[in-house]
Homo-oligomer: A and B are copies of this chain.
């Protein structure tokens, strides 16, 4: 039931209406690993960092069951750095600084002991890097999930479309689904995107929840209504980590089980936004998760007996 996670490990610096984070740990693979490792271990991490990346963070991940054989440490390089500022509504943000650093020429290498992974998640990265990972897998994983973003639709659409034909589940946000499909209606957008390769499409709508599309089926999971969204950074990746972690744990990739996995992902994301960066999700307990999932059941559960 091994899970391979490919993505960034980074430094982030964030400003929200609640304050400034200072320089903290971020990156898609970081969030995915912290979330997924609650459900399945080991996590086979594939990423790249510079010499400035703290050993304490690597140790913390290792202690959580995250294998780091696939994490390249460039002694002559600096870790990917991003800083951003959120607007009052928390749904929009401005990128202030993006320094690719070691990420600029990242050539992922899948270690031999990662081969045979049944589950693979490709965090948001250039489509060529995602494709390189797929080509290195000697046996096709049982389930391949990918994330991407609007930027790649603008500068590498052809490559992106090729990767799309190779994956099972695509995760994008609502704006990206519209951009990729050219359709405003998310239902129409989903129909088009499911024709591009993936058999499953997850459209993330932030505080408005997430939709799962498959054939003519659709499932909706709300976001947990919270007193405050303190910092939305990494919520999408944490969602992805909870989703694939639960699937890898249960080894059941049916549509019915994916519904549950989306609720699990939503629960994990609801923790993520409660504090800056990974602060909350790195301390979350099994009991916290079970209680939060029970809140989701209460949130959406209803009985009906219409005559």
The residues of A with any CB-CB pair to B shorter than 8 Å are 88-89, 184-188, 205, 208-209, 211, 217-222, 225-229, 256, 259-260, 262-264, 289-290, 293, 297-304, 306
Contacts and interface: CB of A to CB of B under 8 A. Distances in A.
A225 to B, nearest CB: 5
A222 B306 CA distance: 19
23 contacts: A89-B184, A185-B226, A185-B228, A186-B225, A187-B225, A187-B226, A187-B227, A209-B209, A217-B298, A218-B298, A218-B299, A219-B299, A219-B302, A220-B222, A220-B300, A221-B300, A221-B302, A259-B302, A259-B303, A262-B302, A263-B302, A264-B304, A297-B304
Given A218-B298, A220-B222, A297-B304, 5 more contacts: A185-B226, A220-B300, A256-B302, A259-B302, A264-B304
A205 B303 CA distance: 22
B227 A185 contact: yes
A304 B260 contact: yes
| Residue among A188, A205, A219, A306 with most chain B CB within 10 A | A306
A194 to B, nearest CB: 14
A12 B8 CA distance: 53
A303 to B, nearest CB: 6
Contacts of A205: 208
Nearest to A263: B302
A302 B260 contact: yes
Query: Nearest 6 pairs between A and B by C-beta?
Result: A259-B302, A208-B208, A220-B222, A300-B300, A260-B304, A187-B227
Contacts of A221: 300, 302
B185 A304 contact: no
A306 B302 CA distance: 20
A177 to B, nearest CB: 12
